[in-house]
Amino acid sequence: MDRTIALGTFDGLHAAHRAVLRGANAVLLFDEHPQQLLQGNAPPKLLSHAQRAARLQKAGLALLHIPFEEIAGLCPEEFFAEILRKRYGATALRCGHNYRFGAKAAGDVSLLHALCNAHNMRLRVVPKVVYRGEAVSSSRIRTALQTGHISEANAMLGRAFGYTFEVMHGEHLGRVLGTPTLNQHFPPGFIVPHFGVYASRAYVNGQWHASLTNIGLRPSFASNALRSETHILGFDGDLHGKHVPVRLLRYIRAEKHFADLEQLKQQIARDLGEV
């Protein structure tokens, strides 16, 4: 049986990751980001593990889960022989141009080529995917998100960045303003985009709706509770307790402090004109 395994971190499933995954029928996944074990902290997630698994399974890939701690101490040759060949029965491999493996990242694509050739295994090293002259990477995408460059992040992801979190109860200030919102909180470890207002879309009742999303601390209300608030145009149902997908399309403006509710209402009206 052919088993072509894609190798990498796959923490964002961005355009470069998908180039590696294309042509594979299985993917090796770690239970945590390698930096968590090696450095004590991991970069913020671009996708939850559940979202990542769902996307990979939808693409028809077999998910091969392994604790990173189990392989972190293996030399490259041991990882290749014991994990890829013996445990998972790899007959072919796919990886990116800068793939590293084995303890202290001692192995590179040249060594992987030599190991594959010695065991009559196919290896496809995928060239780097470039956006605006530089290689697409999860770190570039995180930087774009954290600085408000959502269009650049989406271009490198190859899709609109978003999240699917539970809708929580708020203070119902949106209803007071005439623009009810669904309130969602970012879980620990998940990336928080640059504070501000975004043109967005939300998936409700089987379809995508145009929406307006504010991410931040709501400075006009002296709040210190970070949240995502999304007003869905033309929708006024109760979504509390449901997990609603929200996708960010375009950055509109930074958060502002307003002297009174009337000023805020006027600004929201202008923002809605940008959706």
In three state form, how does the secondary structure of 145-212 look?
A: HHCCCHHHHHHHHCCCCEEEEEEECCCCHHHHHCCCCEEECCCCCECCCCCEEEEEEEEECCEEEEEE
> How many angstroms separate the CA atoms of 105 and 243, rounded?
38
What's the domain range around 83? 4-135
Shared domain check, 11 and 129: yes
Q: Are residues 225 and 263 in the same domain?
A: yes
Q: Are residues 102 and 193 in the same domain?
A: no
Q: What is residue 37's predicted lDDT score, i.e. its pLDDT?
A: 74
Q: Are residues 94 and 195 in the same domain?
A: no
Q: Using 50, 70 and 90 to split pLDDT, how confident is the model at 107?
A: very high
Q: 259 pLDDT band (50/70/90 cuts)? A: low
| Helical (H) or strand (E) element with 111 | helix 109-118
| Chain segment 62-98, per-residue pLDDT in tens | 999 999 999 999 999 999 999 999 999 999 999 999 9
- Asked if residue 143 is part of any domain, the answer here is no
Residue 175 resides in a domain: yes
User: Contact, 251 vs 151, CB < 8 A?
Assistant: yes
* 205 lies in some domain: yes
Q: Is residue 145 part of a domain?
A: no
Pairing of strands 122-126, 92-96: parallel
d(CA 232, CA 209) in angstroms, rounded, equals 6
Q: Which residues contact 53 (CB under 8 A, 6 or more apart)?
A: 29, 63
Average pLDDT for 124-138 = 96
220 shares its domain with 265: yes
Residue 150 lies in a domain: no
113 and 232, same structural domain?
Answer: no
What is the pLDDT, as a whole number, of residue 219? 57
- What is the tally of structural domains in the chain? 2
| pTM score of the predicted model | 0.89
Instruction: Please provide the average confidence, as pLDDT, over all residues in the chain.
Output: 90
Alpha-carbon distances of 62 from 34, 55, 125, 183, 193, rounded to whole Å: 21, 11, 20, 35, 31
- The answer on pLDDT for 51 being more than 70 is yes
Together in a domain, 127 and 247: no
Query: Greater confidence, 261 or 63?
Result: 63
What is the Cα–Cα distance from 213 to 232, expressed in whole angstroms? 9
**106 and 172 inside one domain:** no
Q: Based on the domain organization, do 110 and 227 belong to the same domain?
A: no
Give pLDDT tens digits for 8-42. 999 999 999 999 999 999 999 998 888 877 787 88
- Residues 100 and 166 placed together within one structural domain of the fold: no
The conformation of residue 112, written as its DSSP 8-state character, comes to H
DSSP letters for 221-267: GT----EEEEEETT-----TT-EEEEEEEEEEE-----SSHHHHHHH
Q: What is the CATH number of the domain that holds 201?
A: 2.40.30.30
Using the structure block, give the residue that is written with the tokens 């979202």. Answer: 51
CATH number, domain of 62, equals 3.40.50.620
Kindly indicate the confidence band of residue 153, based on its pLDDT and cuts at 50, 70 and 90: very high
Q: Considering the domain boundaries, does residue 233 fall inside one?
A: yes
Q: Are residues 222 and 109 in the same domain?
A: no
Read off the pLDDT of residues 209-257 as tens digits, 9 standing for 90 and up.
999 999 998 655 556 678 999 999 988 888 999 999 999 999 998 887 6
Is residue 261's pLDDT more than 90? no
Is 20 within a domain? Answer: yes
In a domain, 39, yes or no: yes
3-state secondary structure 5-29: EECCCCCCCCHHHHHHHCCCCEEEE
Judgement on whether residues 172 and 108 belong to the same structural domain of the protein: no
